[in-house]
A and B are shown apart, each in its own frame.
Chain A
């Protein structure tokens, strides 16, 4: 079993809708969870982090964490074409981050 799993997509969402990205992880001891956005040909950039169970909102982005189910998600409200990118879920491991394979998101105008 992979340590961090994401649906590679592509996920296609109409402009203005909610995009929902999901991630599961295998290490029950993980405490910190991150979402990175990577535009094509660019480097990953941190957009959200969450440490506690529940929801964390930042503008149009909401991260959700359920440690019992070992599940992290990212919701993007009012999706814009500029949100089209690959979204990488990352989970803190032993002195490192472990990344999922990323979900490619396309927002259709």
Chain B
């Protein structure tokens, strides 16, 4: 069984479009995260939610909006896509309040043309 899943795996779109990435975990974890990994492999946290409550909101443009309908799901919506948004986006989860041992989803490779 997949522990942390993301859809879609690949996303190719034009500048200015709006797109969403979905994430689900079946590990029973309370904390979920979104990371962005750029072309140089630098992995940077964007958001984290603990049991549907926003815990971390790093300096990310307002065009990025996370939504957590329940503690097993954390979606990422991106408005008005820009070229610089091209990256791999990883969802992750961890047990409650440990923030440590994180389990990552397979990633979504977003390409903005």
Stretch at the interface among B12-20, B43-51, B60-68, B73-81: B43-51
A101 to B48, CA, bound (A): 20
Closest to B40 in A: A101
Q: Which residues does chain B contribute within 8 Å of A86, judged by CB atoms?
A: 41
Q: Which residues does chain B contribute within 8 Å of A46, judged by CB atoms?
A: 101-103
What's the A-B contact tally at a CB cutoff of 8 Å?
50
Closest to B6 in A: A43
Is A95 among interface residues, defined by CB-CB distance under 8 A? yes
Do residues B99 and A96 form an inter-chain contact, with CB atoms below 8 A? yes
Do residues A96 and B48 form an inter-chain contact, with CB atoms below 8 A? yes
Q: Which residues does chain A contribute within 8 Å of B105, judged by CB atoms?
A: 43
Is A34 among interface residues, defined by CB-CB distance under 8 A? yes
Point out the residue from B44, B56, B101 that lies within 8 Å of A95, measured CB to CB.
Answer: B56
Do residues B99 and A101 form an inter-chain contact, with CB atoms below 8 A? no
A104 to B99, CA, bound (A): 25
* A101 with B42, Cβ < 8 A, contacts A49-B101, A96-B99 known: yes
Do residues A99 and B100 form an inter-chain contact, with CB atoms below 8 A? no
A–B Cβ pairs within 8 angstroms, 13 of them:
A34-B100, A43-B104, A44-B104, A46-B101, A86-B41, A92-B99, A95-B56, A96-B56, A96-B99, A99-B42, A101-B41, A101-B42, A102-B43
Residues of B that sit less than 8 Å from A by CB: 33, 40-45, 48, 55-56, 90, 99-107
Closest 5 CB pairs of A and B: A43-B104, A99-B43, A102-B41, A101-B42, A44-B104
